[in-house]
Amino acid sequence: MSCRIAFVLFPGFQQLDLAGPMAVFEVARLERPGSYDWRLVASAPPAARSSAGVDWPVQALPRRLGELDLVMVIGGDGVDGACRDERLLGWLRRAARSGARIASICSGSLVLAAAGLLDDRSATTHWSRGRQFEVEFPAVQLQPDRIYVREPAVRERGWPELWTSAGMTAGIDLCLALVAHDHGEDVAREAARQLVVERRRPGGQSQFSPLLELQRPDGRFSALLDEVRRDLRAEHRVDDLAERACMSPRHFARCFRAETGATPAQVVERLRVEAARAALEGGAGSVQRVSQDCGFGSTERMRRAFVRLLGRPPAAFRP
């Protein structure tokens, strides 16, 4: 039986957020004929203009929701306007109650959150929207470093099955996982092979985001972070960092997380990982030497940090 998909568009959507997932289902359909069928829908037909200025033909939001098996909200710069589209938000709530699976690509998860579909559930979004997401939707358990998140249905609470992805290409990862869930690993691997992408990409968003924009020169703690970078061997405890920032530890920790989107310990670890990665890629000494120079203290501690944040051990970054 075919999985009937509605790709939900809005003015200012990102074309790659649509094209990548559509290509996955297209290739899967070649491997498993009749497995997927789709339509493009929006709250304001007959066209939705992408952020690139290209108009895409769309149908009206379907009234017969029982005909849909998967609703996938695309992301893009226009997502803030989509979050205020009450017609769209109401339709998504009804779609969720109908039993359809609900998914989002990139910043499309903000639309799901605005509809209340992610409250008390885990989700992810593009790293650049992480702070906005945490501020506007505190009831959502945001997983900022995940490539994609799947939340199973909880029928007794009326919660649908939910899939959210981190970014444009992470939408391909999500859809490959959906194909594997629906039709098995063999079909998903063949789809990945045809698209020349990895079936399972290692690591999380930390390998792509510029340390959650910590390099901003206008940031409140930019000078302090520069000091940390210059002396990664130091312990850099919260109490010490707070004293250098002339703040109480509790106030410092709260302000630091609001500014950076991460705890002081997480940021220090990420700065060490970035420095160690650069050193290894540049051929600067042994893994043991780099682990000491970057403040890890041991190669095992550095290995665990690399696998958690980059998805690969330190040795993988040696030339």
d(CA 249, CA 242): 5
> 9, 85 in Cβ contact below 8 A?
no
- What is the three-class DSSP state of 234? coil
Peptide bond into 46 cis (omega under 30): yes
Render each residue's pLDDT in the chain as its tens digit; 319 residues: 789 999 999 999 999 999 999 999 999 999 999 999 999 999 999 999 999 999 999 999 999 999 999 999 999 999 999 999 999 999 999 999 999 999 999 999 999 999 999 999 999 999 889 889 999 999 999 988 788 899 988 888 888 999 999 888 889 989 999 999 999 888 998 998 898 887 766 555 544 444 444 544 456 787 888 889 889 999 999 999 999 999 999 999 998 887 777 889 988 998 898 888 888 877 777 899 999 999 999 999 999 998 888 778 888 877 6
Q: Tokens representing 268?
A: 């220090």
- Specify the fold of 211-317: Arc Repressor Mutant, subunit A (1.10.10)
Q: Of 245, 243, 240, which Cα lies nearest the Cα of 219?
A: 245
The 3-class secondary structure across 236-303, one letter per residue, is CCHHHHHHHCCCCHHHHHHHHHHHHCCCHHHHHHHHHHHHHHHHHHCCCCCHHHHHHHCCCCCHHHHH
Give domain limits for the chain. 3-207, 211-317
> 168, 128 in Cβ contact below 8 A?
no
What's the pLDDT at 212? 43
Query: What superfamily does domain 3-207 belong to in CATH?
Result: Class I glutamine amidotransferase (GATase) domain (3.40.50.880)
What's the pLDDT at 202? 55
What's the pLDDT at 9? 98
CA distances from residue 241 to 109, 210, 224, 274, 296 in whole angstroms, order as listed? 34, 21, 8, 20, 18
What's the pLDDT at 35? 96
What's the pLDDT at 218? 53
